[in-house]
Amino acid sequence: MVVSGFLANIRDKVNIATDSQSDNGIDLPLAFTNYQAFTSDILLAVASQTLVDVDTSSTLPASSNLIFEVGSDQSIRGWLNDVEYVVNCGETAAICTADNFVAALNASIGYDDLEAACAGSSTDDKLDILQ
């Protein structure tokens, strides 16, 4: 659920970037989001869901970064620690578009309503699952 929450945040930022294109062709700035609270494990989990061929058996340095760039042509590029990776768009296209990236994020998130996904069922059912 934690990674899904961050994937939803990335999806929302990409949607803002693609919607903020002005009529005169000048891109409006996308807000920078710094996730310093990420442990290397959480950042690696998010990176492995959004980038192709991320080595999940390695450990990231403490001051790692994950960057996504939305181009004026709606292409998406991604970097992990300043190394460019192929962005996971759920397909093998050479250029990942914002629409394809958002669709792949939605598929990875796996739910539309966080409250409903967390609601679960009765306490007895939850105890049965834990046993």
- Rounded Cα distance between 102 and 54, Å, is 19
* Whole-number pLDDT of residue 20: 63
| Model-wide pTM > 0.85 | no
Sign of the Cα torsion 17, 23, 26, 29 reads: negative
Q: How distant, in Å, are the alpha carbons of 27, 38, 110, 114, 119 from that of 125?
A: 50, 32, 21, 19, 12
Q: Going by C-beta distance under 8 Å and a sequence separation of 6 or more, which residues neighbour residue 93? A: 100
**All structural domains of the chain with their residue ranges:** 2-130
Residue with tokens 């059912």: 125
Q: Is 24 helix (H, G, I), strand (E, B) or coil?
A: coil
* Whole-number pLDDT of residue 127: 46
* Whole-number pLDDT of residue 33: 64
The angle at the Cα of 114, spanning 32 to 54, to the nearest 5 degrees, equals 55
What is the per-residue pLDDT across 44-69, written as a single tens digit (0 to 9) for each? 988 888 899 999 898 888 888 888 88
Q: Going by C-beta distance under 8 Å and a sequence separation of 6 or more, which residues neighbour residue 95? A: 75
Give per-10-residue mean pLDDT for the chain (131 aa): 76 78 54 66 88 90 85 85 88 76 84 61 50 46
